[in-house]
């Protein structure tokens, strides 16, 4: 399995898509940043074949209807995918292989942060420290989560944010870079990704209280490793950070009415840290920006940040992924392969 990457000719069948139409699959496409990305992609390229990969088909249908109101002739498919379930990923990948002969863009956007707790004491202490801007940008020291085991016996955050996506990539290998074309993978990571939250001895973060931060750091490292292994075959992986965005995920941290109340404060903070992108449209900036870039011009070690200035202007900035342990991407990649092959 490890050596399998190029598409065997016999897998190129049943393709409903004309040759020039880009095939784009987005996980977690029914809300928040994923849905905003779909909207922006359809505006950018009306010829797209867009596949919304979602765990809840009712929400997926609603998202498709919303997208079709502004893009009447858009080609939008739905795919049932619970990225936190091994069986669902395997079934969905089979379905994708039956429907399409290639994937041009795979946006790995679905993500969860279950039972988040804000450390109010650390927040107040941070407000009066020199580290305040960094604290607002990265939430360092402010957030913990309570993880649990899923029905596959994996930690839920790890399974959803990282492992399910890695398994999906592996299963879709035959559709990536067929016939020497390039394919792109884009991970929605986070500024909350922190090296100190990740341990190779505890990949699933069973024993800690920052599984979200850990899983996002691991996705940064996996992307690095994918680039090392696959760039020469035409597969390019990137990570983005959408900033702080008001979505169901953030409404799980503090209630939506509270966020609405403090919105003027957040606009003020945005003057000092352009990471408060706040709307899903703004948060999707870097995801959209990557769509229109030539992959060869991208830095494989960069993390692309969606940023919004105090005046509301959106832009994308690249910063280096912090990797102070050069062997980590490699080790994580091999460990993930082991997980995939032991499933």
Ligand X SMILES: NC(=O)C1=CN([C@@H]2O[C@H](COP(=O)(O)OP(=O)(O)OC[C@H]3O[C@@H](n4cnc5c(N)ncnc54)[C@H](OP(=O)(O)O)[C@@H]3O)[C@@H](O)[C@H]2O)C=CC1
Ligand Y SMILES: CC(C)CCC[C@@H](C)[C@H]1CC[C@H]2C3=C(CC[C@]12C)[C@@]1(C)CCC(=O)C[C@@H]1CC3
User: What is the DSSP pairing of strand 117-118 with strand 143-144?
Assistant: antiparallel
Give yes or no: 315 in active site: no
| Residue 123 interacting entry, from ligand Y, ligand X, none, C-beta within 5 to 8 Å by type | ligand Y
Q: For the packed helices 164-171 and 211-230, what is the interaxial angle rounded to 10 degrees?
A: 20
Q: Do residues 229 and 333 make contact, with C-beta atoms less than 8 angstroms apart?
A: yes
| Spatial distance between the Cα atoms of 287 and 270, rounded to a whole number of angstroms | 20
Does residue number 262 form part of the binding site for ligand Y (CB under 6 A)? Answer: yes
Q: Quick one: which of 31, 238, 273, 306 contacts ligand X (CB under 6 A)? A: 31
**Identity of the residue, 178 or 211, whose beta carbon is nearer to ligand X in the bound complex:** 211
Q: Quick one: which of 68, 98, 118, 263 contacts ligand Y (CB under 6 A)? A: 118
| Residue 178 interacting entry, from ligand Y, ligand X, none, C-beta within 5 to 8 Å by type | none
| Spatial distance between the Cα atoms of 259 and 276, rounded to a whole number of angstroms | 12
Beta strands in the chain (DSSP E): 23-27, 49-54, 75-80, 105-108, 117-118, 143-144, 183-188, 235-241, 302-308, 314-320
Does residue number 261 form part of the binding site for ligand Y (CB under 6 A)? Answer: no
Q: Nearest approach, Cβ of 244 to ligand Y (angstroms)?
A: 4
Determine phi and psi for 166, rounding to 5 degrees. -65, -40
- Count of chain residues binding ligand X (CB under 6 A): 29
| Residue 198 interacting entry, from ligand X, ligand Y, none, C-beta within 5 to 8 Å by type | none
Footprint on residues 106-125 left by ligand X (CB under 6 A): 109-112
Footprint on residues 126-185 left by ligand X (CB under 6 A): 160
Determine phi and psi for 54, rounding to 5 degrees. -135, 155
Q: Which stretch binds ligand X (CB under 6 A): 97-105, 119-127, 238-246, 299-307?
A: 238-246
| Residue 188 interacting entry, from ligand Y, ligand X, none, C-beta within 5 to 8 Å by type | ligand X
Does residue number 244 form part of the binding site for ligand X (CB under 6 A)? Answer: yes
Does residue number 142 form part of the binding site for ligand Y (CB under 6 A)? Answer: yes
**Identity of the residue, 49 or 54, whose beta carbon is nearer to ligand X in the bound complex:** 54
Q: Which two tokens stand for residue 313?
A: 């202007």
DSSP type of residue 126: H
Q: Do residues 220 and 189 make contact, with C-beta atoms less than 8 angstroms apart?
A: yes
Catalytic site residue from 212, 281, 333, 339 = 212
Backbone φ/ψ region at 280: left (φ over 0), alpha (ψ -120 to 50), beta: alpha
Neighbours of 232 (CB within 10 A): 8
Q: Do residues 283 and 242 make contact, with C-beta atoms less than 8 angstroms apart?
A: yes
| Spatial distance between the Cα atoms of 248 and 255, rounded to a whole number of angstroms | 10
Footprint on residues 167-196 left by ligand Y (CB under 6 A): 190-192
| Residue 145 interacting entry, from ligand Y, ligand X, none, C-beta within 5 to 8 Å by type | none
How many H-runs (helices) and E-runs (strands) does the chain carry? 14, 10
Q: Which two tokens stand for residue 167?
A: 């398994």
Active site residues: 212
Contacting residues toward ligand Y, per CB under 6 A: 118, 123, 136, 138-139, 142-143, 190-192, 244, 250, 253-254, 262, 265-266, 269
Contacting residues toward ligand X, per CB under 6 A: 27-28, 30-34, 54-56, 59, 81-84, 109-112, 160, 188, 190, 242, 244-245, 247-250
């Amino acid at each position: 399995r490890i050596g399998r990457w190029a598409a065997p000719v016999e897998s190129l069948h049943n393709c409903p898509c004309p040759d020039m139409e880009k095939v784009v699959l987005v996980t977690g496409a029914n809300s928040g940043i994923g849905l905003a990305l779909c909207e922006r992609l359809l505006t950018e390229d009306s010829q797209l074949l867009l596949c919304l990969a979602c765990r809840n088909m009712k929400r997926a249908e609603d998202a498709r209807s919303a997208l079709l109101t502004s893009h009447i002739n858009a080609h939008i498919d739905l795919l049932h995918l619970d990225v936190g379930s091994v069986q669902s990923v395997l079934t969905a990948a089979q379905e994708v292989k039956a429907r399409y002969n290639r994937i041009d863009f795979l946006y790995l956007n679905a993500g969860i942060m279950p039972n988040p707790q804000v450390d109010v004491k650390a927040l107040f202490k941070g407000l009066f420290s020199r580290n305040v801007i960094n604290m607002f940008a990265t939430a360092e020291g402010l957030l913990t989560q309570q993880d649990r085991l899923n029905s596959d016996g994996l930690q839920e955050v790890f399974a959803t944010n990282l492992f399910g996506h890695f398994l999906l990539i592996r299963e879709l290998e035959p559709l990536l870079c067929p016939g020497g074309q390039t394919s792109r993978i884009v991970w929605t990571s986070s500024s909350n990704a922190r090296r100190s939250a990740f341990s190779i001895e505890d990949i699933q973060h069973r024993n800690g209280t920052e599984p979200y931060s850990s899983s996002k750091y691991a996705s940064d490292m996996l992307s690095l490793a994918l680039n090392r292994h696959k760039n020469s075959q035409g597969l390019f992986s990137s990570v983005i950070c959408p900033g702080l965005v008001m979505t169901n995920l953030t409404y799980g941290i503090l209630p939506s009415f509270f966020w609405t109340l403090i919105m003027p404060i957040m606009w003020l903070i945005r003057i000092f840290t352009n990471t408060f992108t706040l709307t899903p449209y703004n948060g999707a900036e870097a995801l959209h920006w990557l769509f229109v870039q030539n992959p060869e011009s991208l830095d494989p070690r960069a993390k692309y940040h969606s940023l919004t200035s105090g005046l509301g202007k959106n832009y994308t900035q690249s910063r280096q992924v912090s990797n102070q342990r050069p062997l980590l991407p490699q080790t994580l990649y091999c460990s993930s392969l082991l997980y995939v092959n032991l499933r």
